[in-house]
Amino acid sequence: MASFTVENYLKAIYSLSRSNEAGVSTNALADHLGTKAATITDMLKKLNANGLVHYKKYQATTLTDKGCEIALNIVRKHRLWEVFLVEKLDFKWDEVHDMAEELEHIDSNELIDRLERFLDNPKFDPHGDPIPDKNGVIERRDQIQLTELKVGQKGYVTGVKDSSKEFLQYLDNQNIELGNELLVKDIFDYDKSRVLIIEGQETTFSQQVCKNLYVNIIE
């Protein structure tokens, strides 16, 4: 069993690698974890010695197959717990991340397998992120950022790029949730904000908000 610290490092490297397949820099990992670069370097050396990462000084770090397997399992547990907390215990989607951060370290594959079956094998978490199956396979969804929709195009909300508590609370205040159907009515040239019709209601979102929403185009 990997320690909580090791699991957190591997999950962080996996998360950062999604936007940079070439690997993760020490400084980026330090910023993500809120830790000094020297501490990151020491841990990366240990992870490298244990065959969990590929690490060389002054180069980007990547996960080994073994490291990736552990990271995907932690991601799987985290996202399944988020589904459970939202769907079965009625927590809001902005409340569950920190709790799932604790629950993801429970070392019982049987528990997680039963949890997955109990939840009817969900493919996506409450924020729209895909849930790896027990073999690490991830179902990808055909989605784009809302900023890519043109005037007159329709789509439905599939996920969020920014899953911070502040952004999720903002969406709650705007009555936006996954599955909402929307239409781009207009785009302002000045600041690229968008006038949207969401479930029949007209609203205006800034370009920044639109960048942080994923949608699937309705043809």
pLDDT of residue 22: 84
Share of the chain above pLDDT 90, in %: 92
Which residues 6+ apart lie within 8 Å of 196 measured at CB?
182, 183, 184, 185, 202, 203, 204, 205
pLDDT of residue 20: 79
Query: Residue 110 — pLDDT band, cuts 50, 70, 90?
Result: very high
Q: Taking 80 as the threshold, does the pLDDT of residue 2 lie above it?
A: no
Residues 113-132: what's their mean pLDDT?
A: 97
At position 171, the amino acid (one-letter code) is L
Query: Residue 1 — pLDDT band, cuts 50, 70, 90?
Result: low
Separation between Cα atoms, residue 48 and residue 11, nearest integer Å: 15
Express each pLDDT in 199-214 by its tens digit.
999 999 999 999 999 9
Residues 27-55: what's their mean pLDDT?
A: 95
pLDDT of residue 90: 97
Helix axes 26-33, 4-17, angle to 10 degrees: 120
Mean residue pLDDT of the chain comes to 95
Which of 17-21, 97-101, 102-106 has the weakest average pLDDT?
17-21
Phi, psi dihedrals of residue 157, rounded to the nearest 5°: -70, 125
Q: Tell me how far CA of residue 185 lies from CA of 196, 205, 209, in angstroms.
A: 5, 11, 16
Share of the chain above pLDDT 70, in %: 100
Q: Which DSSP symbol is given to 149? A: P
Q: Taking 70 as the threshold, does the pLDDT of residue 69 lie above it?
A: yes
Residue of 30 and 2 predicted with greater confidence? 30
Q: Taking 80 as the threshold, does the pLDDT of residue 60 lie above it?
A: yes
Residues 180-184: what's their mean pLDDT?
A: 97
pLDDT of residue 19: 79
Express each pLDDT in 140-150 by its tens digit.
888 999 999 99
Query: Residue 219 — pLDDT band, cuts 50, 70, 90?
Result: confident
Domains of the chain: 4-63 (1.10.10.10), 144-218 (2.30.30.90)
